[in-house]
């Protein structure tokens, strides 16, 4: 069974971002970039499926600038077998990403598409669901457990108020939540090995995908700052402030 | 202009988020229809019919919709979509699962977690864990969006809309094997007036009981940081933050939470924030209205005693 894992290059989760002076975008120049944390969890899960003998090949795919090769190498250092970069410098909406991934899937014919539930830049949480819709595949979002037995996929999903366990036929799209696993650290030998693994580069045009504009970004602004609060000296003072000043208790 | 709102429910009762999504839809000053898809969900449809601003309640009542699965629900919604200028759902786990699928089938983009509607085409939503707000203009014929319920005030239940049955049965290829819900006497996080949240500093699941006592005394809910959830102190559906619940209660009490940006993203719109932490450098103090530098194991019992 082949597993395809779409991944994204994003600003590192520990970097505090700033909106640019013109209020047109987030300033990402010279920031530390990384593999999106949810994508990393998806890669780890795919590699574990392979290690458990349930998958034969793990293919990672990214859509982005040439430097996104770094994140594909990271994914291969974690255990993915090969990588595909669909190179573009254009920012992409989730629907466009899903259309490109659909074209890649048409070539790859993966039986399972495992991906992060959202990227921590756009926070959209749309791409997996959109790809599943376009491919007419079932989906299991927010996965905290994935198992494959006799061609049937079983997934536990983290939903509001509890856990839903689903059974799905393959091929299917699964999106990873935080608690699916804890990704390993890539060892130095594996990082070296990843440099020699195959990485193919494609363009959107080569895939025959036509995209159209859907949205115009009018402004990107910082959120309203909270006014600085006060430090209280004791629990008594806190209770007094909450009762008499804030009037919330 | 006509808006289709997808109701959020568990087949028995309507979730509070729907009245807030209807409030967001009402700002567009058009007709509002609400789709209730479920199984034996007549009571839900009746609750929806009472909400102010609702023109019609469309009810697809069939066992195939019981588990709220995205593949067949999306086809149901798309089948009803013609004539609607907007399709909204709450940014809950169900709404987030379903709506991108609907948008893709309609070949339109989607806007996630809308916090402000400027006009029929223009929406504001947070990106980068709420560290920036993006204002986008949709160029699509149909605007599909999830709405962050905590950013809107619920419409009251003062109306009596018509209920229309939809005889459309679409099967899912998935099956629900199990559905476990965490039963709680406390209000839901998204709906609570007061939330008492704990972090890793609580040290154990047993110590969370202390926060439950405080929450119960205030009639509030209990929440947690990701660190506390990952440590296994409390169940994951109570996580507040970028990837958990986004809340905006009247009073948010953060106990032993350092204040990572991912946590702040989930609670910084609360009206009053209290932070109790023994580390004076904890970033949580920068967003707190009232900060108390103290050992939580002394401060929380005292707080329970004094309130």
Dump pLDDT digits (tens) for A66-88.
999 999 999 999 999 999 999 99
User: Which residues of chain A have a CB within 8 Å of the CB of B272?
Assistant: 242, 246, 248
pLDDT in tens, A180-193: 999 999 999 999 99
Q: Hey, what's the torsion of the CAs at A20, A24, A30, A33, to 10 degrees?
A: 120
Q: How many CB atoms lie within 10 A of CB B236?
A: 20
**Exposed, middle or buried, B46 (CB in 10 Å: 0-12/13-18/19+)?**
middle
The structure tokens 């969900």 sit at: B41
Taken as a whole, chain B contains a residue count of 307
Question: What is the distance in angstroms between the Cα of A98 and the nearest Cα belonging to chain B?
Answer: 9
Sign of CA dihedral B226, B228, B233, B239: negative
Between A144, A166, A217, which is nearest B177 by CB?
A166
User: Which residues of chain B have a CB within 8 Å of the CB of A215?
Assistant: 109, 111, 136-140
Chain A residue closest in CA terms to B103: A130
The structure tokens 């069939």 sit at: B62
Contact B6, B15 (CB under 8 A): no
Q: How far apart are the first and last CA of chain B?
A: 49
Give the pLDDT score at A208. 97
A177·B101 Cβ contact <8 A: no
Give the pLDDT score at B155. 97
Question: What is the distance in angstroms between the Cα of A217 and the nearest Cα belonging to chain B?
Answer: 5
pLDDT band of A195, cuts 50, 70, 90:
very high
> Which of B289, B293, B299 should we substitute to test contact with A (largest number of A Cβ atoms within 10 Å)?
B289
Residue B302's nearest CA partner among B276, B280, B279, B284 is: B276
Q: What is the 3-state secondary structure (H, E, C) of chain A?
A: CEEEEEECEEECCCCCCEECCCCCCEECCCCCEEECHHHHHHHHHHHHHHHCCCCCEEEEEEEECHHHHHHHHHHHHCCCCEEEEEECCCCCCHHHHHHHHHHHHHHHCCCEEEEECCCCCCCCCCHHHHHHHHCCCCEEEEEEEEEEECCEEEEEEEECCEEEEEEEECCEEEEECHHHCCCCCCCHHHHHHHCCCCEEEEECCCCCCCCCCCEEEEEEECCCCCCCCEEECCHHHHHHHHHHCCCCC
Q: How many CB atoms lie within 10 A of CB A128?
A: 32
Q: What is the CA radius of gyration of chain B?
A: 20
Contact B214, B254 (CB under 8 A): no
Give the pLDDT score at A228. 75
Give whole-number Cα distances, B54 to A192, B19, B21, B78, B102, in Å: 61, 10, 11, 20, 22
Question: What is the distance in angstroms between the Cα of A207 and the nearest Cα belonging to chain B?
Answer: 19
Give the percent of chain A with pLDDT over 90.
Answer: 93
pLDDT in tens, A1-50: 999 999 999 999 989 899 999 999 999 999 999 999 999 999 999 999 99
Residue B224 DSSP one-character state:
E
What would the two tokens of residue A114 be? 């495992």
User: Which residues of chain A have a CB within 8 Å of the CB of B302?
Assistant: 235
d(CA B123, CA B136): 6
d(CA B3, CA B19): 14
B100·A231 Cβ contact <8 A: no
pLDDT in tens, A48-66: 999 999 999 999 999 999 9
d(CA B188, CA B205): 20
What would the two tokens of residue A231 be? 């430090």
d(CA A72, CA A61): 7
User: Which residues of chain A have a CB within 8 Å of the CB of B142?
Assistant: none
User: Which residues of chain B have a CB within 8 Å of the CB of A231?
Assistant: 285, 290-293
Q: Which helix (H) or strand (E) holds B42?
A: helix B42-49
Give the pLDDT score at B1. 87
d(CA A144, CA A132): 19
> Which of B110, B192, B218, B245 should we substitute to test contact with A (largest number of A Cβ atoms within 10 Å)?
B110
Residue A160's nearest CA partner among B215, B179, B152, B43 is: B179
pLDDT band of A197, cuts 50, 70, 90:
very high
What would the two tokens of residue B152 be? 């809107």
Question: Omega of the bond prior to B75 within 30 degrees of 0, cis?
Answer: no
Between B129, B188, B306, which is nearest A235 by CB?
B306
Give the pLDDT score at B244. 86
Chain A residue closest in CA terms to B265: A223
pLDDT in tens, A105-164: 999 999 999 999 999 999 999 999 999 999 999 999 999 999 999 889 999 999 987 899
Q: How many CB atoms lie within 10 A of CB B2?
A: 15
Residue B17 DSSP one-character state:
H
Question: What is the distance in angstroms between the Cα of B274 and the nearest Cα belonging to chain A?
Answer: 9
Contact A137, A171 (CB under 8 A): yes
B128·A11 Cβ contact <8 A: yes
Q: Which helix (H) or strand (E) holds B302?
A: helix B296-306
Question: ipTM of this predicted complex?
Answer: 0.94
Q: How many CB pairs under 8 A join A and B?
A: 244
pLDDT tens track, chain B, 307 positions: 899 999 999 999 999 999 999 999 999 999 999 999 999 999 999 999 999 999 999 999 999 999 999 999 999 999 999 999 999 999 999 999 999 999 999 999 999 999 999 999 999 999 999 999 999 999 999 999 999 998 999 999 999 999 999 999 999 999 999 999 877 788 888 889 999 999 999 999 999 999 999 999 999 999 999 999 999 999 888 999 988 899 999 999 999 999 998 999 999 999 999 999 999 999 999 999 999 999 999 999 999 999 9
A138·B173 Cβ contact <8 A: yes
Across chain B, the runs of DSSP E, i.e. the strands, are 2-6, 31-38, 56-61, 86-90, 110-114, 116-117, 122-127, 132-138, 143-147, 162-165, 175-181, 194-198, 221-224, 251-255, 272-277, 290-293
Give the percent of chain A with pLDDT over 70.
Answer: 100
The yes-or-no verdict on residue A104 having pLDDT over 80 is yes
Contact A234, B298 (CB under 8 A): no
Chain A residue closest in CA terms to B113: A124
Question: What is the distance in angstroms between the Cα of A50 and the nearest Cα belonging to chain B?
Answer: 24
d(CA A219, CA B103): 23
Chain A residue closest in CA terms to B300: A235
A160·B93 Cβ contact <8 A: yes
Chain B residue closest in CA terms to A230: B290
d(CA A163, CA A205): 41
What would the two tokens of residue A44 be? 């780890």
User: Which residues of chain B have a CB within 8 Å of the CB of A163?
Assistant: 178-180
Give the pLDDT score at A227. 79
Question: What is the distance in angstroms between the Cα of A193 and the nearest Cα belonging to chain B?
Answer: 32
Give the pLDDT score at A224. 87
pTM reported for the whole predicted model: 0.93
Phi and psi of A202, rounded to 5°? -130, 165
Contact A75, A113 (CB under 8 A): no
Q: What is the CA radius of gyration of chain A?
A: 21
């Amino acid at each position: 069974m082949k597993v395809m894992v779409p991944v994204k290059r994003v600003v590192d989760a520990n970097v505090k971002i700033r909106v640019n002076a013109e209020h047109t975008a987030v300033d990402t120049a010279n920031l530390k970039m990384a593999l999106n944390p949810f994508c990393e969890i998806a890669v780890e899960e795919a590699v574990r499926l392979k290690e458990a003998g349930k998958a034969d090949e793990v293919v990672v795919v990214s859509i982005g600038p040439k430097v996104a090769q770094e994140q594909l190498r990271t994914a291969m250092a974690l255990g993915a077998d090969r990588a595909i970069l669909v190179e573009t410098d254009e920012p992409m909406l989730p629907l466009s990403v899903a259309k490109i991934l659909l074209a890649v899937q048409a070539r790859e014919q993966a039986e399972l598409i495992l991906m992060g539930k959202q990227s921590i830049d756009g926070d959209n949480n749309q791409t997996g669901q959109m790809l599943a819709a376009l491919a007419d595949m079932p989906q299991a979002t927010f996965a905290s457990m994935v198992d494959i037995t006799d061609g049937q996929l079983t997934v536990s999903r983290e939903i509001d108020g509890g856990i839903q366990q689903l059974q799905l036929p393959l091929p299917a799209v699964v999106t990873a939540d935080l608690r699916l696993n804890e990704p390993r650290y890539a060892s130095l030998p594996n990082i070296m090995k990843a440099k020699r693994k195959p990485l193919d580069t494609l363009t959107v045009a080569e895939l025959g995908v036509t995209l159209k504009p859907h949205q115009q970004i009018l402004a990107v602004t910082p959120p309203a700052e909270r006014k600085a609060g006060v430090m209280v000296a004791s629990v008594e003072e806190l209770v007094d402030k909450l009762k008499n000043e804030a009037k919330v208790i | 202009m006509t808006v289709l709102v997808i109701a959020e429910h568990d087949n028995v009762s309507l979730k509070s988020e729907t009245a807030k999504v209807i409030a967001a839809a009402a700002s567009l000053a058009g007709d509002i229809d609400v789709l209730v898809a479920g199984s034996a969900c007549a009571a839900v449809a009746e609750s929806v019919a009472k909400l102010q601003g609702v023109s019609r309640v469309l009810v697809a009542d069939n066992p195939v919709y019981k588990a709220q699965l995205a593949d067949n629900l999306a086809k149901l919604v798309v089948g009803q979509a013609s004539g609607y200028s907007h399709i909204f759902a709450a940014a809950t786990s169900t709404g987030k699962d379903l709506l991108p699928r609907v948008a893709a089938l309609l070949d339109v983009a989607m806007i996630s977690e809308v916090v402000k509607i400027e006009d029929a085409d223009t929406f504001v939503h947070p990106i980068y864990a709420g560290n920036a707000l993006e204002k986008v203009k949709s160029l699509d014929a149909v605007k599909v969006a999830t709405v962050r319920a905590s950013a809107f005030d619920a419409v009251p239940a003062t109306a009596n809309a018509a209920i229309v049955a939809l005889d459309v049965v679409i099967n899912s290829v998935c099956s629900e094997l199990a559905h476990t819900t965490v039963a709680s006497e406390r209000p839901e996080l998204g709906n609570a007036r007061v939330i008492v949240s704990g972090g890793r500093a609580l040290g154990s699941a047993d110590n969370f009981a202390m926060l439950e006592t405080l929450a119960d005394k205030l009639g509030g809910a209990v929440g947690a940081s990701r660190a506390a959830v990952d440590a296994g102190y409390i169940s994951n559906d109570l996580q507040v933050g970028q990837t958990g619940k986004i809340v905006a209660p009247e009073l948010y009490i953060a106990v032993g939470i350092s204040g990572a940006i991912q946590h702040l993203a989930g609670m910084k719109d609360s009206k009053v924030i209290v932070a109790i932490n023994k580390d004076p450098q904890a970033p949580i103090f920068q967003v707190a209205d009232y900060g108390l530098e103290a050992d939580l194991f002394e401060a929380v019992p005292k707080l329970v005693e004094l309130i």
